[in-house]
Amino acid sequence: MTMQPQLNTRAHVDKVTSPDGSAVSVLRFTGDITSTSRDVVFGAYQDVPADTRKVVFDFSKMEYMNSSGIALIIELLMAASKTDRTVQSFGLSPHFQKVFIMVGLNKYTSLHPDEATACAAFAD
C-alpha cells in the first residue's frame, strides 16, 4: 500500500481576558499549516464566540507553514474582518515574521513577541 503522509495540523481556541477586562479568543495553531489544514483551522475558528471582537493567533507551536497555509491565514483574516474582528498575532519565528512582512500580511494582523503584548494591543 502506498504511504500517505500524516495530517499534522491541530488548532484550538482558548478564551482569555485582555488587560482591560474584555473577552479575547486565542486561536492556537500546532504543527503544520498547509492546504490540508483547512478543515481543522476553520473548524477551530468556529469556536470563537459570536460576540467576541478580539482574536489572537498563536503561532508559537507552529512547525511548518507553506504558501497555501499563508493563503489560509488570509482567508481567516478575511472572515474576521467581515464580522468586525481585530486579529493580533504572536509566536512567529523570525523567518516567518519576515515572510508575513514580505507578503504584506502585517498590514492586516500586527505581529507581537508574546501573548501578553498581543492581548494588550487591542484598541478599545
Partner 1 sequence: MVQEIASAVELRLPSKLGFEKVAMQTASGVARLMGFPDDRIEDLKTAVAEACINAIEHGNRFDERLSIGVVLSMEDGKLEVKILDSGSGLHKKMNPPNIDRKMHGEEQARGMGMFLMQALVDEAEWTQTPHGGNCVRLMIRLDKEEE
> Which stretches of the chain bind partner 1, using CB under 8 A?
1-6, 34-36, 64, 66-68, 70-72, 74-75, 77-78, 81, 93-95, 99, 102-105, 107-108
If the CB atoms of residues 99 and 121 are measured against partner 1, the closer one turns out to be 99
Dist CA 6 CA 84 (whole Å): 35
The least CB distance from residue 114 to partner 1, in Å, is 21
If the CB atoms of residues 72 and 111 are measured against partner 1, the closer one turns out to be 72
